[in-house]
């Protein structure tokens, strides 16, 4: 599917807009929807920090940390909204090596519409254009072929393999690390 990534004017402070999506800060009221969508095992098992089952109230507690993390330039979590509906999450999280790690998930009812690719594209542009990062990283578990496809579509390059703990699975899983440099993204 050809996706037009042309950005639209930003809809408000702290928000980004892509062709079909609004990337906005989470609100505490998003908590129950996050718990429903990210609480599916098929979503949680592909993420490192999301617990399974997702405890009631945990999403709101996570959202309550966001302002401080943004203020510290440590994390930029965005709710992905399509036609007023929360469909997923994309975020940049600064890791111990100083680089931002791009992560994302889309609720299962919304898979296969190009939302992850479009939202990730918006977040990457934010990292390079607004945060002036020279390089970001990402990656996916080796058994996550859909996310591999998203990264390939976005132009990430594969860097190395590691083992990464998945909270939902309860064990470390083979992980394929990817990288994207600003110039590579521009190309
Ligand atoms: C991975 C995920 C984010 C993809 O979201 P999405 O909005 O459906 O992604 P997109 O529609 O932008 O692109 C998905 C691509 O993967 C392809 N795909 C889907 N399932 C696949 C599979 N099992 N094997 C290979 N490719 C697959 C789709 O066909 C599509 O490629 P195409 O555009 O060339 O047809 C979503 O499935 C998800 O949230 N999964 C659980 C959490 C997760 O994996 N997060 C990422 C952690 S690294």
- 93 in a structural domain: yes
- 78 in a structural domain: yes
From the CB of 117, is ligand 1 less than 6 Å away? yes
- 27 in a structural domain: yes
Rounded to whole angstroms, how far apart are CA atoms 127 and 133?
6
2 pLDDT more than 60: no
- 39 in a structural domain: yes
Which residue segment(s) compose the domain that 39 sits in? Answer: 16-133
In this predicted model, what pLDDT tens digit does every residue of 29-68 receive, in sequence order? 999 999 999 999 999 999 999 999 999 999 999 999 999 9
Q: What is the pLDDT of residue 76?
A: 97
pTM of the model: 0.95
In this predicted model, what pLDDT tens digit does every residue of 124-175 receive, in sequence order? 999 999 999 999 999 999 999 999 999 999 999 999 999 999 999 999 999 9
Stretch (H or E) spanning 147: helix 145-154
Q: Are 180 and 151 contacting, i.e. CB atoms less than 8 angstroms apart?
A: no
Stretch (H or E) spanning 145: helix 145-154
- 65 in a structural domain: yes
* Bridge partners (DSSP) listed for residue 71: none
- 162 in a structural domain: no
Short-list 150, 119, 168, CA closest to 21: 119
Short-list 113, 130, 112, 134, CA closest to 122: 130
Distance 72 CA to ligand 1 centre (A): 31
Hunting for tokens 């990817």 — which residue is that? Answer: 178
How is residue 24 written in tokens? 């906005």
- 141 in a structural domain: no
Task: Please count the structural domains in the chain.
Answer: 1
Chain mean pLDDT for the chain = 95
Q: Whose CA is nearest to atom 11 of ligand 1?
A: 114
- CATH number of the domain where residue 30 is located: 3.40.630.30
- 152 in a structural domain: no
Hunting for tokens 């993204």 — which residue is that? Answer: 185
Distance 55 CA to ligand 1 centre (A): 25
Q: What is the pLDDT of residue 1?
A: 45
């Amino acid at each position: 599917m050809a996706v037009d990534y042309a950005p639209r004017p930003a809809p408000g402070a702290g928000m980004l807009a892509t062709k079909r999506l609004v990337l906005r800060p989470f609100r505490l009221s998003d908590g129950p929807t996050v718990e429903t969508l990210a609480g599916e095992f098929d979503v949680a098992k592909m993420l490192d920090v999301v617990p399974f089952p997702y405890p009631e109230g945990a999403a709101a507690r996570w959202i309550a940390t966001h302002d401080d993390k943004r203020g510290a330039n440590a994390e930029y979590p965005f709710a992905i909204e399509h036609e007023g509906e929360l469909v997923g999450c994309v975020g940049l999280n600064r890791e111990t090596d100083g680089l931002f790690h791009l992560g994302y998930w889309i609720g299962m009812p919304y898979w296969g519409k190009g939302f992850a690719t479009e939202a990730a594209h918006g977040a990457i542009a934010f990292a390079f254009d607004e945060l002036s990062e020279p390089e970001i990283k990402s990656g996916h578990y080796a058994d996550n072929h859909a996310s591999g496809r998203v990264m390939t579509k976005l132009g990430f390059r594969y860097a190395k393999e590691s083992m990464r703990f998945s909270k939902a699975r309860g064990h470390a899983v083979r992980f394929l690390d990817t990288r994207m440099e600003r110039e590579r993204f521009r190309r």
